[in-house]
């Protein structure tokens, strides 16, 4: 039977289906128990509260079809997963699907919508689709997009598809292209930035990323598509997928993304508002992948949102 979210007040016994097999026990529990700290999950495994087929296991154990997992009460709050979403969001998401088959779903994610629920976000894209398509036994994000970034988002409908697409991501087999509007004009038609990025959290609790020699490798190519003097429309190719990569690399180069409240230029953002820009101008435009099952090459494209197209028209007329 398929796994259900354990109730916080009692022990649950969950039988693993074929579609759930192959993942590590810690990752299975983290997915199952949204909002529970990793430390609580690992402690439960270490102390033997979590058992597989009545035996103790390590966090590296890979679950198999037919395994019966004992899941203790892990919840640290009474927060529960949403049980319904409003009709307008449901219609918006269904209208945003640009590709779907038995293996995967590709969404043109709207700006302002988080991909996952969080502390202050009750429902994200993945929770919404679990409610919209309750008949699906398996549905998971392949990758993430920032809340304010729009565009192509991959969602897997089976563990096989998820692992295949994630492997394509890790081995740089996916051609990821974005469209963005940058401050000013870069000094070359193509600018390649290779600067390591480090995540850290400031005193307010906000997560920030900065260029740091101690950080992880990050590589970005900016390709000029059109210049408007005060701003430049660029195509961006990502060679790595670090958090806020385009935003931090562009800001580091002196050409931050328009509408970026975190890493951007306040005066430039004010100026862009006069051209009708009310959001981050960053759009996941195109993904070149191989289908996870048939292996055929696919080019998936999410058109630039109408509101961003209008900003471009205003710049062209200025």
The residue ranges of the chain whose pLDDT is under 70 are: 1-9, 75-83, 118-121, 201, 203-205
Span between the terminal Cα atoms of the chain, in Å = 61
Cα gap 253→245, rounded to integer Å: 12
Look up residue 185 and give its two tokens.
């004009």
- pTM score over 0.85: no
pLDDT at position 236 is 98
Angle between the N-to-C axes of helices 38-46 and 25-32, in degrees from 0 to 180, rounded to the nearest 10: 130
Q: How many C-beta atoms lie closer than 10 Å to residue 159's C-beta? A: 17
pLDDT at position 1 is 41
Tens-place pLDDT, residues 104-128: 999 999 999 988 776 566 778 998 8
pLDDT at position 205 is 67
Closest residue by Cα to residue 301 from 151, 101, 162, 142: 151
Catalytic positions are 146
pLDDT at position 46 is 86
Cα gap 248→254, rounded to integer Å: 10
pLDDT at position 157 is 94
**DSSP conformational letter for 279:** S
> How many Cα atoms are found within 13 Å in the side-chain-facing hemisphere of 186?
28
How far is the CA of 217 from the CAs of 144, 151, 193, 239, in angstroms?
18, 24, 11, 10
pLDDT at position 197 is 96
């Amino acid at each position: 039977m398929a796994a259900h979210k354990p109730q916080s007040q009692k022990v649950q016994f969950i039988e693993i289906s074929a579609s759930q097999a192959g993942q590590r026990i810690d990752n299975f529990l983290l997915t199952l128990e949204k909002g529970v700290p990793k430390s609580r999950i690992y402690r439960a495994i270490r102390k033997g509260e979590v058992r597989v087929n009545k035996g103790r296991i390590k966090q590296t154990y890979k679950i198999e079809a037919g395994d019966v997992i004992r899941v203790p009460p892990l919840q640290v709050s009474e927060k529960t997963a949403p049980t319904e979403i409003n009709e307008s969001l449901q219609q918006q998401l269904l209208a945003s699907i640009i590709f779907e088959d038995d293996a995967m779903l590709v969404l043109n994610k709207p700006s302002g919508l988080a991909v996952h629920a969080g502390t202050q976000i009750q429902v994200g894209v993945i929770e919404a689709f679990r409610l919209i398509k309750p008949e699906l036994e398996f549905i998971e994000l392949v990758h993430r997009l920032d809340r304010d970034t729009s565009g192509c988002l991959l969602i897997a409908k089976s563990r096989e598809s998820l692992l295949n697409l994630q492997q394509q991501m890790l081995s740089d087999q996916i051609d990821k292209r974005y469209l963005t509007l940058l401050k000013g004009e870069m000094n070359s038609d193509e600018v390649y930035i290779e600067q390591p990025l480090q995540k850290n959290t400031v005193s307010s609790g906000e997560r920030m990323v900065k260029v740091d020699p101690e950080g992880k490798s990050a590589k970005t190519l900016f390709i000029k598509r059109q210049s408007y003097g005060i701003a430049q429309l660029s195509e961006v190719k990502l060679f790595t997928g670090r958090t806020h990569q385009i935003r931090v690399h562009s800001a580091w180069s002196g050409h931050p993304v328009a509408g970026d409240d975190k890493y951007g230029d306040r005066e430039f953002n004010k100026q862009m508002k006069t051209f009708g820009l009310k959001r981050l101008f960053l759009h996941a435009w195109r993904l070149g992948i191989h289908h996870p099952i048939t292996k055929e090459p696919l080019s998936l494209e999410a058109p630039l949102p109408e509101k961003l197209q209008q900003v471009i028209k205003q710049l062209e007329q200025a």
